[in-house]
Amino acid sequence: MKVLLVGSGGREHALAWKMAQSNQVEELYCAPGNAGIAEHAAIIDIAADDVVGLTAIARNLDIGFVIVGPEVPLAMGLVDILQANGIAAFGPTQAAAQLESSKAFTKDFCTRYNIPTAGYEVFTDLDGALVHVHKNEPPFVLKADGLAAGKGVVIADTKFTAEDELKEFFSGKFGEASEKVVIEEFMTGQEASFFAICDGKTAIPLIAAQDHKRAYDNDEGPNTGGMGAYSPTPVFGEKEMATVMETIIYPTVAGMAKDGMPFMGILFAGLMMTKDGPKLIEYNVRFGDPECQVLMRRLGTDIMDLFLAAKAGKLDEVDAPAWLDDPVVNVVMASNGYPAKYKKGSVIKGIETANMMDGVYVFHAGTQKNKKDEIVSNGGRVLNVTASGDTVAEAVERAYAAIDQAIDWEDGFCRRDIAHHALG
C-alpha cells in the first residue's frame, strides 16, 4: 500500500522509521518531512497545514492511507477532507479533534461525563474573569481556549499577575485562541503522558511516558514543546493504567460516540497524578512529541496493524500490542535560544557515529540538508537522541554519551536531567 505521513518533527521521524519496517507499506511518502525522514520516505514539499495541497497530492499519487502526525491539520479538518475525496486516513475528524483544539469543549465534556479533571470556569470577557480572580485565591491556571502551540497556559502565583495576564489574553495575546479563557484550579503531583488508540467505539491502551516541558534543568525556564521523555515511568504502572482506562479513556470514547463525534485516532491524556488519583490536565488528539519517539522504540508490534484496524473499526479484533521491556529515553537537542529566538542553518555532525553506539538511535526534528549535503539545523527542537538500556539509568547514560562523544553541533543545547524522577 502507498502511505503518506504528514508532519516534520521528531514524532514523525519515529513514525516513519517504524512504518518503514512494516511489510504492509510498499511506498512511504512524507510531507513536508525532514532530513532524517528522507532516509525512510520520499519527501513531498507541502506544508502540514496545506490541507488542500495535501489532498491533491494524495489523489495524484493514489495514496491508500494517510497518517496525520500534528494537531494543526487535524483541527483544520484534514481527515474529513481526505475522506470526502475517498482517501482513507488515520486521525480524528475536525469535530472529534475539538478534544485538543478547544479547552472549553473538553472541560464541558469532562463535566458531562464525570471525567476527573481540575475544577474550572470559562470566561468570554475580561470583567467576568477579573471578578473570579477577586473572589478566589492563587495560584490560578489561565488557559487560552484554542491551539497555541503549547504556550497558551500561564500559572499565576498572585492575583496581580493573574490580572495582568488576563488583560493580555483578552487583548489578543493568542489571537482567536484567547477570545475564550479557561481558569482552572491548580493541581499538584507528577505529570504523565498516557496514550490509547481508538476506533470510534473501542480503545486499546498503549503505554505512558514522562515528558519534561520546561527548557532548563530542575524544571526551570519557559515552557517548551518538550525537552525529553522516557518510558516506562515509575509514576504510571499497571494499576494507574487500569484506573485511567476506566475513569478517563473509556468514558471519553463512549461519550464522543454518544455525542455523534466518534473518536478514531490516538488519544493522548496529559495527566496529573494527584494524591486523589490521576486527573486529566488536557487531551491531545495525536501522539506526543518527544513521547512518540520512545513509544515507537519500545513497540514490538507492526504499527500499521494498529492504524488499519482503528480505521476499519476493528480494534476489538487485534491482539494487544507488544512492548519491549528495556526502558528508552529521549534527550531533545534544541537550538540555543529555543523556545525564544534562535538561528537556523548551523552544521551538525556525528549522527552516524551516534547511531553506531550501543542502544542509540537519533531521530531528526528540525533538520535539513544544505547544498554541500551536510545536515543543518532548521528549527527549535532539532535532534532526539534516544537510547535503550537494561535500566533507565543505563539508557540515560548512553543517550548523554552519544551527545557528548558523537554529536558535534555548536549551536545546540539539551537538558542534563532527563528522567530525573526515575533516577531519584
According to DSSP, the residues that pair with 3 across neighbouring strands are 28, 65
The Cα angle at residue 291 between residues 290 and 297, in degrees rounded to 5? 105
Q: Mask 270-289, x = binds ligand AMP (CB under 6 A)?
A: x----------xx-------
Residue 100 contact partner, candidates ligand AMP, ligand GLY, none, CB within 5 to 8 A by sort of partner: none
Amino acid code (one letter) for 250? Y
By C-beta, is 3 or 285 nearer to ligand GLY? Answer: 285
By C-beta, is 159 or 344 nearer to ligand AMP? Answer: 159
CA–CA separation, 393 and 359 (whole Å): 13
CA distances from 424 to 64, 230, 234, 310, 417 (A): 47, 14, 11, 38, 11
By C-beta, is 145 or 211 nearer to ligand GLY? Answer: 211
Q: Is 199 in the site for ligand GLY (CB under 6 A)?
A: no
Amino acid code (one letter) for 53? G
Q: Is 291 in the site for ligand GLY (CB under 6 A)?
A: yes
Q: Mask 265-284, x = binds ligand GLY (CB under 6 A)?
A: -------------------x
Beta carbons of 222 and 340 less than 8 angstroms apart: yes
The half-sphere exposure of 131 on its side-chain side, counting CA atoms within 13 A, is 8
What spatial distance separates the first Cα and last Cα of the chain, rounded to whole Å?
A: 46
Q: Is 141 in the site for ligand AMP (CB under 6 A)?
A: yes
| In the complex, minimum distance from the CB of residue 11 to ligand AMP, in angstroms, rounded to a whole number | 16
Query: Cβ contacts of residue 351 below 8 Å, gap of 6+?
Result: 362, 364, 375, 383, 406, 407
Q: Which one among 2, 132, 159, 213 touches ligand AMP, defined by CB under 6 A? A: 213
Q: Is 367 in the site for ligand GLY (CB under 6 A)?
A: no
By C-beta, is 16 or 295 nearer to ligand GLY? Answer: 295
Q: Is 80 in the site for ligand AMP (CB under 6 A)?
A: no
By C-beta, is 53 or 150 nearer to ligand GLY? Answer: 150
Q: Mask 228-267, x = binds ligand GLY (CB under 6 A)?
A: ----------------------------------------
Q: Is 68 in the site for ligand AMP (CB under 6 A)?
A: no
Q: How many residues bind ligand GLY (CB under 6 A)?
A: 7
Residue 26: CB atoms within 10 A of its CB come to 10
Q: Which one among 110, 289, 298, 362 touches ligand GLY, defined by CB under 6 A? A: 289
Beta carbons of 25 and 67 less than 8 angstroms apart: no
Query: Cβ contacts of residue 87 below 8 Å, gap of 6+?
Result: 55, 58, 59, 63, 66
Q: Mask 69-108, x = binds ligand GLY (CB under 6 A)?
A: ----------------------------------------
Beta carbons of 363 and 296 less than 8 angstroms apart: no
Rg (alpha carbons) of the chain, rounded to whole number: 21
By C-beta, is 80 or 289 nearer to ligand GLY? Answer: 289
Cell of 173: 495575546
Q: Is 211 in the site for ligand GLY (CB under 6 A)?
A: yes
Q: Is 153 in the site for ligand AMP (CB under 6 A)?
A: yes
Q: Is 210 in the site for ligand GLY (CB under 6 A)?
A: no
Cell of 161: 499577575
Query: Cβ contacts of residue 161 below 8 Å, gap of 6+?
Result: none
| In the complex, minimum distance from the CB of residue 70 to ligand AMP, in angstroms, rounded to a whole number | 15
Segment near ligand GLY (CB under 6 A); pick from 53-61, 131-139, 233-241, 288-296:
288-296
Q: Which one among 226, 265, 380, 389 touches ligand GLY, defined by CB under 6 A? A: 226
Beta carbons of 376 and 346 less than 8 angstroms apart: yes
Nearest to residue 422, comparing CAs of 389, 401, 392, 399?
Answer: 392
According to DSSP, the residues that pair with 128 across neighbouring strands are none
Under the rule (CB under 6 A), what is the footprint of ligand AMP? 118, 141, 143, 150, 153, 184-187, 191, 213, 270, 281-282
| Residues contributing to the site for ligand GLY (CB under 6 A) | 150, 211, 226, 284, 288-289, 291
